[in-house]
Amino acid sequence: MISATPDDRPLGIQILGDDFEIIKGALDIISGYNFDLIDLNAACPVDKVVSGGKGAGLLRAPVKLQKLLKEISTHTDLPVTVKIRSGWDETSVNAVEIALRAEDAGVKGLFIHGRTKTQGYSGTVDYNIIQKVKESLKIPVVASGDGLTPNLIRKMFDETGCDGVAVARGALGNPWIFSETAEYLRSGAAPPGPDIYEIAQIMKKHLALNTAFHGEKIGILIFRKLFAWYVRGLSVKQLRSRAFQSCSYDDMLRLIGELQLLQDKCHVPALL
Ligand SMILES: Cc1cc2nc3c(=O)[nH]c(=O)nc-3n(C[C@H](O)[C@H](O)[C@H](O)COP(=O)(O)O)c2cc1C
């Protein structure tokens, strides 16, 4: 899971845990690799994670989290960051307190998803709490949540004053989001976006790399989901369901070829 290519720089690694004795073991393993930063996950909302007090569970234990971050920062020479949510639930939005404690513990940057743990991925992102966190800290704040299009990424910058925006779901099947957003932020003009031919070309490359990395069997299983993400918003229901039944590289390649032939028949919706 920590495989990377030489181009992936700067390269961080995220750890999940609430017990420094165990985390120390992870840090010692990490020290044998060439990472640029270590991030502690205090944001994961998955039940089996939070029930043990890890991930977003740490938001309910601000003093413990502060101590943990201090211990991690002292144990490693690498910069340490933390990823948080706005709070546990709407009655306990404590991101500012958590963020100040994290800064005090010596973290060098903070990532914040502007939703509570109980929100999961539902409801809207709380730009206001991210802005308050940004105003309270001296260290860089990277905002996360619904950065799904260049316009929404700009909105996150505008509403919060954050130093950076982390893009997650918006990049699934849409690697163009980064260059398009950079262009949009520079020029203010709506980027043209890829056409079906370009999408299919990148899918072919992705399919080949994915298969070379994971092997054909696992690679194709993974690519079924990737296929669906790439064609999100396109009227190609049949192709999508055939991709979910596809079992071989050649078959998947054929489906991408069919997609490419729809170049003039199928409209790619603008993602602004
Ligand atoms: C499939 C998936 C896996 C994720 N895994 C992690 C993770 O391991 N660590 C983490 O800090 N956030 C993780 N996230 C959360 C994202 O980093 C991000 O905060 C969240 O998806 C909101 O941003 P978005 O609206 O741009 O997707 C994950 C999100 C998704 C959809």
Q: Ligand 1 centroid vs 168 CA: distance in angstroms?
A: 6
Residue type, 28: D
CATH code for the structural domain at 12-145: 3.20.20.70
The answer, yes or no, to whether any atom of ligand 1 lies below 6 A from the CB of 145, is: yes
Q: Which helix (H) or strand (E) holds 165?
A: strand 164-166
In the prediction, which pLDDT does 75 show?
A: 96
Mutate to test the pocket of ligand 1, among 40, 126, 169 (most ligand atoms within 8 A of CB): 169
Strand ranges for 51-144 from DSSP E: 80-87, 109-116, 141-144
| Nearest-CA residue for atom 15 of ligand 1 | 168
**41 closest CA partner among 49, 31, 29:** 49
pLDDT in tens, 211-239: 999 999 999 999 999 999 999 989 899 99
Q: Would you tell me the crossing angle of helices 62-75 and 95-105 to the nearest 10 degrees? A: 30
Instruction: Answer whether residue 85 shows pLDDT above 80.
Output: yes
pLDDT in tens, 174-220: 999 999 999 999 999 988 889 999 999 999 999 999 999 999 999 99
44, 162, 247, 266: which one is catalytic?
A: 44
DSSP 3-state assignment of 113? strand
pLDDT in tens, 241-269: 999 999 999 999 999 999 999 877 677 77
* 65 backbone dihedrals φ, ψ, rounded to 5°: -65, -40
The answer, yes or no, to whether any atom of ligand 1 lies below 6 A from the CB of 169, is: yes
Q: What percent of the chain has pLDDT over 70?
A: 98
- Say which residues have a Cβ less than 8 Å from residue 73's Cβ, sequence separation at least 6: 80, 105, 106, 107
44 as an active site residue: the answer is: yes
Q: Of 2.40.128, 1.20.120, 3.40.50, 1.10.1200, which CATH number belongs to 196-264? A: 1.10.1200
| Nearest-CA residue for atom 7 of ligand 1 | 44
CATH 3.20.20.70 intervals, the chain:
12-145
Cβ-based neighbour number of residue 214 at 10 Å: 14
Q: Ligand 1 centroid vs 254 CA: distance in angstroms?
A: 31
Instruction: Answer whether residue 2 shows pLDDT above 80.
Output: yes
Mutate to test the pocket of ligand 1, among 37, 113, 122, 160 (most ligand atoms within 8 A of CB): 113
Instruction: Answer whether residue 271 shows pLDDT above 80.
Output: no
Average pLDDT for the chain: 95
CATH 1.10.1200 intervals, the chain:
196-264
| Nearest-CA residue for atom 21 of ligand 1 | 168
pLDDT in tens, 141-182: 999 999 999 999 999 999 999 999 999 999 999 999 999 999
Quote the pTM value: 0.94
What atom in ligand 1 is closest to the CA of residue 166?
A: 26
Q: Are 134 and 161 in contact (CB under 8 A)?
A: yes
The answer, yes or no, to whether any atom of ligand 1 lies below 6 A from the CB of 85, is: no
Q: Ligand 1 centroid vs 59 CA: distance in angstroms?
A: 17
